[in-house]
Structure 1
Amino acid sequence: MQFLRPLTFLLFILLAGCSKPSDKIIVATAANVQYVMKEIQAEFEKGSTDSIHIVVASSGKLTSQIREGAPFDVFVSADTRYPEEIFKNGGAEEKPKVYASGTLILWSKNISENELTLAMLADEKIRKIAIPNPETAPYGRAAIEALKAANVFEKVKSKLVYGESIAQTAQYITSGSVEAGFNALSIVLAPETKQKGNYTIISDSLHHPIQQAALLLKHTNTSPKKSISEKFYNFLYSEKAKAIFRKYGYR
């Protein structure tokens, strides 16, 4: 795997708040997992000198950065496709493993929970619908599948407003700049957004399962980060981490 240019690599180190590259491992985290990861980070670092730095973006954007040589140590994706791609291209020595399955929701700042349905999105009072970019965000792909399965996509495709990630889509929804939008259950269950609007769960029979996988990247083979990276990667599959994932609606 290539390394970034020195200036870019230095930027990553500064972002991580490190005096040396070995101080922390860098965990590339899909936007839908960001609130969960804060709690997992706190649990992992409790009573330990090991620490991590979290970089949040869409899975597709993080994958592009990994291809370009970003010095990430662990990749926590919102799907299995991107980690599999990285593994097949030699970016990791072990296959990715699924850590949880996510849940797609339809969310609105002002529309009541009882009114929120896929069919109502075709109503003329709904002018804009936020959706994570399906090119880079797995929840966006699931939303498109659900709209098509419900025979609504052709009626609403001109209303779709694409966010770069789950996080940006959430901003569109909570600010009221769109009437409704698709997001992850984990986002609306987070303390920061729990009281901001209403939501309904989209049946997983309308889209492919949103299985989410993590990957221990080959970059981390450089000592002394390897042992900490492996420790954190294994922690993602521990009972303590599973309990946190369940708290945020993951299966």
Structure 2
Amino acid sequence: MPKPKVVTTISIIILLLLLGCKPSEKGVITIAAAANMQFAIGEISKIFTKQTGIQCELVISSSGKLTAQIKEGAPYDVFVSANMKYPEEIHANDLAVRPPKIYGYGQLVLWSMYDNIQPSIEMLKDQNIKHIALANPKTAPYGQAAIEVLENNGMYNQVKGKLVYGESIAQTNQFITSKSSEIGFTAKSVVLSPKMKGNGHWIALDERMYSLIEQGVVMIKRENRNFKNAQQFYDFLFSKEAKEILEDFGYLVTK
């Protein structure tokens, strides 16, 4: 069974618009997913396709950017966000089939690929740490959570000159894995993914130091589409199998 195809946001929009393709009519659904979910949603969609035969096109970006694209008419069927704020915004703009629902709770970690660095909040002030990677807090919920951690530990002003912002968690991970940043904040789902597991050193951050990351999902209103396919994926995201996958990737499915 073919693996779910991950393509860039711009390329899929151009492809669908130029070819006039209606994915749902051909047994394909388009899922817009927050970057922290890249690995987990890939596994979930693979199992979903195996069981249903419905193919999944994945568009990975920050939740804020995906929200802007949906409001501009991007041809997505399901939006899997990194928080509830953006799905609620979609619903408030009458673009969702129904109100958003929480499918899991994200966890923030501090990660470094340098052998001589054992991550800790205090060490962020170390003079040897020149760059601290995090996702853009304006569009990425995990970036906002990272800022909250720094503020709640009273060190934001001390390290703000070191902060390097990625467009999303995906770009933030590139900063960390390429070692262009000595350390960075990312999602626990990233360091537990098969691709990244065992690489570098990381610590889970105290959940009391940042707001609960409630990750929500909505079905997007679209004309001329097979509603049933999108509904099947939406329901599958709350199935026992999907919840087990989410837990394997470090998400909490109950609070």
Fold match, TM over 0.5? yes
- The one-letter code of the counterpart of 1:249 is G
Of residues 147, 151, 156, the one that matches 1:153 is: 156
1:51 aligns with 2:55: yes
- Tell me how far apart the structure 2 counterparts of residues 172 and 238 of structure 1 sit (CA, whole Å): 34
- Tell me how far apart the structure 2 counterparts of residues 216 and 181 of structure 1 sit (CA, whole Å): 32
Q: 1:235 to 1:112 in 2, by over 3 A?
A: farther
Contact 2:106–2:215, Cα closer than 8 Å, also in 1 = yes
| Matched residue, 2:170 | 167
- Tell me how far apart the structure 2 counterparts of residues 172 and 10 of structure 1 sit (CA, whole Å): 28
Q: 1:8 to 1:100 in 2, by over 3 A?
A: closer
1:34 aligns with 2:34: no
Measure how far apart 1:15 and its partner are: 9.7
Structure 2: 5+ residue stretches without partners: 1-10
| Matched residue, 2:198 | 195
Q: 1:15 to 1:150 in 2, by over 3 A?
A: farther
Q: 1:10 to 1:129 in 2, by over 3 A?
A: closer
Q: 1:118 to 1:8 in 2, by over 3 A?
A: closer
Measure how far apart 1:9 and its partner are: 5.3
TM-score, scaled relative to structure 2: 0.89
Q: Which runs of 4+ in 1 moved over 4 A?
A: 7-10, 13-16, 18-21
Structure 1: 5+ residue stretches without partners: 1-6
- The one-letter code of the counterpart of 1:118 is I
Q: Deviations over 1:110-159 (max 9, x none)?
A: 1557x311111011111000010001100000000000001111100000
Contact 1:111–1:179, Cα closer than 8 Å, also in 2 = no
Q: 1:104 to 1:14 in 2, by over 3 A?
A: farther
- Tell me how far apart the structure 1 counterparts of residues 82 and 224 of structure 2 sit (CA, whole Å): 26
Q: Deviations over 1:22-57 (max 9, x none)?
A: 221100010110111111111111143322111100
Q: Deviations over 1:87-109 (max 9, x none)?
A: 01111131000000000000001
Contact 1:103–1:185, Cα closer than 8 Å, also in 2 = yes
Contact 2:24–2:229, Cα closer than 8 Å, also in 1 = no
Measure how far apart 1:19 and its partner are: 8.0
Identity %: 44
Contact 2:16–2:22, Cα closer than 8 Å, also in 1 = no
Contact 1:103–1:184, Cα closer than 8 Å, also in 2 = yes
- Tell me how far apart the structure 2 counterparts of residues 89 and 59 of structure 1 sit (CA, whole Å): 16
Within 5 A, what are the aligned runs for 1:1-251? 11-12=15-16, 22-23=25-26, 24-111=28-115, 115-219=118-222, 222-223=224-225, 225-251=226-252
- The one-letter code of the counterpart of 1:230 is Q
- Tell me how far apart the structure 2 counterparts of residues 59 and 48 of structure 1 sit (CA, whole Å): 27
Q: 1:247 to 1:155 in 2, by over 3 A?
A: same
Cα RMSD over matched residues?
2.1
| Matched residue, 2:8 | none
- Tell me how far apart the structure 2 counterparts of residues 235 and 191 of structure 1 sit (CA, whole Å): 22
- The one-letter code of the counterpart of 1:227 is K
TM-score, scaled relative to structure 1: 0.91
Measure how far apart 1:8 and its partner are: 8.2
